Structure 1
Amino acid sequence: MMSKKYSIGLCGLSFCSPNLGCSALAYAFRKLLIDIFKNDNVQLKIVVFSNVDSKDYVVTSEKWVSEELIRYSFKKINSIKLAKAKIEECDVVFDFTEGDSFSDIYGLKRFALTSFFKFVTIKKDGCLVLGPQTYGPFKNKHVRKMAKWLISSADRVYARDKKSAKLVESITGIKAITTTDVAFALPKDQVQIDGCGRPSFGLNVSGLLWTGGYTESNQFGLSVNYREYIKRLIPEIIERGYNVHLIPHVVGDMYPECDSPICKELSEQYEHCILAPDFVSPMQAKGYISNMDVFSGARMHATIGAFSSGVVTLPFAYSPKFEGLYESIGYPYLIDGRKLSTDEAVALTLKYLDETEKLREAQCKALEKASQNLGAFSADLKDWFNRFILATDKD
């Protein structure tokens, strides 16, 4: 029997981003997508739309899957024309908006740029699926209006938490299908570390929070003084007998986005601090993180990497996406940087550190819930493909 050929476009998924959280989302979804089609006698073409250099792209080993990377830049009109033409060739386009950028929290320009391919797909009568992601907040009325149109025009809408699903329904009337973050499915590389005879505490320090956000003026409205919190926390953790592994999850030296410079600076200030390398893939980062005994961080996908590896995890929440995601799977042990004082945040972190067995038990149950949600997502997506894509005769 002749195999069918399908072309699937992936937008808002950055496989080669220095933000390893964005890459984690991308590789995890590609794995889920390939698993869905694995036994269906399909020749699958995955078309990745990327605005970053793709030299470190990790190609799948599946022989029945071909991949094409379309590099575009909004400053190069010919690259945009090519990207638009490739969108037209896709049977379906998935857009994840980097997981958390379908919002005006990062500014109006970012919202506009991340909406471009959604708009193009809709206007060309393409099939648009909004992958599991956070929706909102939409503080600007014009952004809210555009978001309503984009969501309402999509063929399928998934949310990664209940809070986002409620927001979608409140502004569009659409009941988004609630699942969880697909990054829970990310595989990991085997990475060895030198424990030096002490337990390991992984700490992801966000360069973006350290500098006050893109505006450098507490853009995310933290009630915690983040710099003071980190500087007070590290000695306390070391005093409890841990090595502190400072782990950047947005790598490189781009200011103010990257974690690497501040992690390096802090590693030189304290004994028993170890600087993790700049990883080239999220699978490497997850492999390193999986060696930790306890992990805390402000990059959500760094915490997901720890959480899904069974490492006791203390997420530092700087936006509603943390609360939405972790509460949806029944894990309330967050350090909320928008509600707590600096003193309270330090005290709560250390309290959780003294209750690791209690947290580990809650985490096991939450991981089971996340796994069930991902299984339900894959099943729903498979069913949707059978009805709307695989049922189409393309021979």
Structure 2
Amino acid sequence: MFIEIKGVGLPNRGAELMLIGVMKEISAKHPDAKFVLLPDTPFSERNKHEVYQKSYLIIKGLDLSFLGNLIPKRIRRRFGLIVESEIDVVIDASGFAYSDQWGHEKAYLRSAKHIKRWKENNKKVIFMPQAFGPFKNLKLRDHMKVILQHADLIFARDKVSLEHMKELKVATDNLYEAPDFSNLLKGRLPENFKSTAKDICFITNSKMLEKGGDIEADNYKPFMVNLISRAQELGYNPYLLLHEGEKDLQLAKDINMQLKNPVELIQTVDALEVKGIIGTAKLVVSSRFHGLVSALSQGVPVIATGWSHKYKMLLDDYGCGDYLLSSNNSNAAGILEEMLNEKKYSEIKNKIVQASEIEKSKSKDTISKVLKAL
């Protein structure tokens, strides 16, 4: 069984967690399953997961992927190359790609253009839990209706996303609400990593500058500098943890340069190590969605900033929606200090731990539905 996984843009560690999660759960039930990715991510990133590569070649807008069929199968296998006709299952683990913020072309090219043909060729098509909407663009609405009509399973990651899908008014029994399933994964620590009870993990996101609007673009860096500085004044050990690529790395470096006392910048190419590090922190201040999932699913309190509804919905699921802050919040440092009060911290942590068990139970139900569909 060849399973193509779409939407996992490596080296995004959140996307990598979803890739690992899909592979782990399906392989446990179907050990013969083989997984396939498009060659649009670095080879080094794909190679460490031992996935196959799909035949994919676009030149000046012309799709020449069919040329892979001209290569004898025994040669294709030698190079780990899989053609479209060999794919049995398509799993979309995008996270957030289908909305006005990303545009109608992305939805069309990723799924709507192909899904009728996929189903005609008896492929299973599953959309793992992800954020959807809004869909005000008429072309995007049409594309999403096609997807809803033909997918075997679609999981919306929160109530708002589910409502955006229902507003398309497509009669279907394939749509469910389910949390991000990476909450089931256990992290691991890098060799020689040493944590302390005073660690506070800061995770940046360049999309706060690109998609968060003028307020976030103008205030985000000062916001992070302010919180890191306050954490230092309170006697804690803040550090910056890289969660994705060059843009986040540069942003973290820019923030560090503005600090009176620069902090450690931790980089690892292993998504499970990222989650493991997050799990050791006293508190996580994150603008990356999966940085928040990794913290909350391990019972670690958070302060969040975000640029879409998915952040608020996630924090609400864990009973801590009040800790989603705008970058222009003048009391952010005070909120940080309040959260670190021993009694308050214990209350928040207990609430998160209880919610985490519920969310993990929901994810197990999601996996059961997926395995049944296969």
Q: Does the pair score TM above 0.5?
A: yes
Q: Identify if the C-alpha distance between structure 1 residues 378 and 360 changes in structure 2 by more than 3 Å, giving closer, same or farther.
A: same
In the other structure, the counterpart of 1:154 is 151
Q: Secondary structure at the match of 2:96?
A: coil
Q: Distance in 2 between matches of 1:363 and 1:238?
A: 25
CA displacement, residues 38-83 of structure 1 (integer Å, 9 cap, x when unaligned): 5xxxx222223341122233656xxxxx842226354475663368
Instruction: Measure the CA separation in 1 of the matches of 2:85 and 2:222.
Output: 51
The answer to which of 47-56 and 322-331 deviates more is 322-331
Range moving further from structure 2, 319-328 or 370-379? 319-328
Shift of 1:289: 2.0
Specify whether residues 73 and 264 from structure 1 end up closer, same or farther in structure 2 by C-alpha distance, changes over 3 A only.
farther
Is the CA contact (8 Å cut-off) linking 1:162 and 1:328 kept in structure 2? no
Alignment of 1:90-169 (within 5 A): 90-96=87-93, 98-115=94-111, 116-118=113-115, 121-122=118-119, 124=121, 126-169=123-166
Question: Structure 1 residue 359 and structure 2 residue 348: aligned?
Answer: yes
CA distance in 2, matches of 1:223, 1:56: 30
Partner of 2:172: 174
How far, CA to CA, are the matches of 1:270 and 1:73 in structure 2?
49
Q: State the alpha-carbon separation in 2 of the partners of residues 348 and 177 from structure 1.
A: 35
Alignment check: 8 A CA contact 2:127 2:153 kept: yes
2:229 to 235, 247, 250: 235
Match of 1:32 in 2: 25
* Structure 1: segments with no counterpart, 5+ residues: 1-5, 61-65, 253-257, 386-395
Give SS of 1:225's match.
Answer: helix
Choose the corresponding residue for 2:42, options 39, 50, 53.
53
CA separation of 1:362/1:73 partners in 2, compared to 1, >3 Å: closer, same or farther? farther
Q: Distance in 1 between matches of 2:110 and 2:243?
A: 21
TM-score after normalising by structure 1: 0.79
Letter in 1 for 2:153: R
Measure, in 1, the Cα distance between the counterparts of 2:172 and 2:244.
Answer: 34
User: Does residue 292 of structure 2 align to residue 303 of structure 1?
Assistant: yes
Matched with 1:200 is 199
Aligned CA-pair RMSD: 2.9
* 2:239 aligned with 1:245: yes
Q: Do the aligned partners of residues 302 and 119 (structure 1) sit closer, same or farther apart at CA in structure 2, a change above 3 Å counting?
A: farther
Q: 2:296 touches 2:318 (CA, 8 Å); kept in 1?
A: no
Structure 1 residues 382 and 169 mapped into 2: Cα distance closer, same or farther (>3 Å)? same
Scaled by the length of structure 2, what TM-score is found? 0.83
Equivalent residues, number:
354
- Structure 1 residue 239, shift from structure 2 partner: 1.1
Contact kept? 1:331, 1:366, Cα under 8 Å: no
Give the counterpart letter for 2:193 in structure 1: I
Task: Describe the shift of the 1:122–1:326 C-alpha distance in structure 2 as closer, same or farther (beyond 3 A).
Answer: farther
Deviation at 1:369, TM superposition (A): 0.9
Q: Which residue of 1 aligns with 2:77?
A: none
- Aligned equivalents of 2:216, 2:194: Cα separation in 1: 35
Match of 2:52 in 1: 68
Letter matched to residue 261 of structure 1: Q
C-alpha distance in 2, partners of 1:83/1:148? 31
Consecutive unaligned residues of structure 2, counting only runs of 5 or more, are 70-81
Q: What letter corresponds to residue 263 of structure 2 in structure 1?
A: C
Letter of the 1:106 counterpart: W
Over residues 114-164 of structure 1, what are the superposed CA-to-partner deviations in whole Å (9 max), with x where a residue is unaligned?
A: 335546524655331122111112231211221122122212222222222
C-alpha spacing 1:170/1:154, structure 2 compared with 1 (3 Å): same
SS at match of 1:55: helix
Q: What is the rounded CA distance, in whole Å, between the counterparts of 1:180 and 1:220 in structure 2?
A: 30
**Residue from 336, 360, 367 that aligns with 1:378:** 367
- In structure 1, give the amino acid aligned to 2:167: S
Q: Give the AA of the match of 2:20.
A: Y
Deviation of 1:376 (Å): 0.9
Q: Relative to structure 1, is the Cα distance of residues 179 and 23 closer, same or farther in structure 2, using a 3 angstrom cutoff?
A: same
Aligned to 1:185: 184
* C-alpha contact (below 8 Å) 2:100/2:133 kept by paired residues: yes
Divergent runs of 4+, >6 A: none
SS class of match (2:155) = strand
What one-letter code is carried by the residue in structure 1 that aligns with 2:97? S
Q: State the distance in 2 between where 1:114 and 1:83 align.
A: 20
Alignment match, 1:294: 283
Secondary structure of 2:37's match? Answer: strand
Cα separation, partners in 2 of 1:68 and 1:108, compared to 1, 3 Å = same
1:273 corresponds in structure 2 to 263
> SS of 2:269's equivalent?
coil
Work out the percentage of aligned pairs sharing the same amino acid: 20
Aligned equivalent of 2:73: none
CA gap 1:334/1:107 in 2 versus in 1, 3 angstroms: farther
CA contact (8 A) 1:28 1:187 kept: no
